[in-house]
Amino acid sequence: MVSLVGGAILLTREKFALKISHYLASFAAGTLLGAAFFDLLPEAAHAMEEQGGGHTDIFLWTLLGILGFFLLERFIFWFHHHHDHSKTKETATVNLVVLGDSVHNFIDGVVIATTFMISIPLGIVTSLAVAAHEIPQEIGDFGILLHRGLRKKKILLLNFLSACVSVIGALLAYWSAETIAPFLPAVLALSAGFFIYIAASDLIPEIHNEDNRKTAMIETVLLLVGVFAVYLIITLLGHE
């Protein structure tokens, strides 16, 4: 619920939000890259080290995540080949954002449940950290969905259902911690690959295609702000 606060506030001023949605999409690209490189990949590497694996395996799973989303997007294009190209692109991006966010939320649920089983104070701190770094990312996600033309109610519903996936992850981790643990590094790296692909393939090209130099400059700055926001939150709260 906390992760939806920023986006919900944004939607209360929908007309204004629509005007700045392309700026929010640029911010989202930064938060996705920040989450991938400052949060998910370090966590994946740390988990892999604990299991005695090598970092090369993390790179492999990240690459598979990028290629997997590429193939998924191709499939969506082929499946909707009878639609207008621009509309199909919008559908593909929305599906990828929701899927990637759901995977990330699932992992967050697993991590939160696991840390609570280690100690309650650690679980509380982890929950606060997850909520804090989710807020800028969720604002960005809301911006992407607004930019793609979705209505306010649908955006809220999709993001709420995606957030609920964290509960599923937490319950599965609680019931089968020993079974899930070996797969955590791979899932973290796959999720990082998803985020990198969405930012690099769907969002950053829009900045390059912006004809207005002033607008393009603002979008570029916002992308960097998105990266820095995630880095700052993780640094202040302490990644471990």
Whether residue 46 contacts residue 40, with contact meaning beta carbons closer than 8 Å, is answered with no
Q: Please classify residue 2 by burial: count the beta carbons closer than 10 Å to its beta carbon, then call 0-12 exposed, 13-18 middle and 19+ buried.
A: middle
SS3 of 212, please?
coil
Name the token pair of 17: 């939000």
Domain borders along the chain are 2-237
180-236 pLDDT, tens digit per residue, is 778 878 877 887 888 888 888 877 887 887 778 888 898 899 999 988 988 887 777
pLDDT tens-digit series, residues 12-28:
665 666 566 678 778 87
**pLDDT of 91-141, one tens digit each?**
556 776 777 778 778 877 887 887 787 677 767 767 766 766 666 666 667
Angle, CA of 233, 239 and 240, to the nearest 5°: 155
